[in-house]
Amino acid sequence: MKELIPFCEISDPGVITGITVPLYKPAGWTSFDVVNKCRRITGFRKVGHSGTLDPFAEGLLILGFGTHTRRLGPYKDLDKVYRVDIRLGAETDTQDRTGSIIAQSGQGTPPDLRAIEDLLPQFTGIIKQTPPMYSAKKVNGERLYTLARKGTIIEREAVPVRIETITILEYDWPLLRCRIRCGSGTYIRTLAADIGRALGCGAYALELLREQIGLWGLKECLTLDEFTEAWKSIRESMP
């Protein structure tokens, strides 16, 4: 069983005042779902995370509890590594598998691997991305996803993001699997959609796994069940 002690700040009387924990967010959960669950597990009122993962995505989510919520800021600026399965040949309104199909490719010949390899360098370095409507970004104090669910689409300003590397892991039409190292603020599903448009066939993110934040990776992660058991164990061992 993974232990919590390396992540804890414990005061002299034996009170845990803060924890920073790398947790594995399962697909289908919002980042807030994980925060809320961990509040109930630990009793900490102050719980935060270092960067939202989309509900369909899974993987590393760094949580701060108690006094450690103030320490989350630096994690938000660290490079991140994702593995993404891109479904070529169609587009959705959310740019991922949870949305409705809004366009499908009518082309007869799928792009070959060489064409994709030749295209990807234009998406590395500092590039501009338009934040998706289905995102937590605020415009005039309102979340974009709130507007999108009302059927309201507004103009969004493209913002610079940094893509360090895009590595093709597998290609078997219509699936393109890549590993992406990028800077803070990058929308991987938007990158998938933009690649699809550039290829002329459309695309959306089918699966998304966050593998790394800075030096923290999946091997350090605790599942929610492991976290629950570790928390129970550490509380029983406290004086």
Write down the catalytic residue from 54, 77, 93, 172.
54
Name the nearest CA neighbour of 106 among 173, 33, 202.
202
The dihedrals phi and psi of 175, each to the nearest 5 degrees, come to -95, 130
For the question of residue 54 being annotated catalytic, the response is yes
87: Cβ–Cβ under 8 A, 6 or more apart, which residues?
Answer: 97, 174, 175, 203, 204, 205, 206
Question: In b/e form, how buried is each residue of 218-236, taking b as 16+ CB within 10 angstroms?
Answer: eebbbebebbbebbeebee
Half-sphere exposure of 219 (CA within 13 A, CB side): 1
- Reduced DSSP (H G I as helix, E B as strand, rest coil) percent helix, strand, coil of the chain, to 5: 30, 35, 35
Q: Per the omega criterion (within 30 degrees of 0), is the bond before 174 cis? A: yes
Residues marked as catalytic: 54
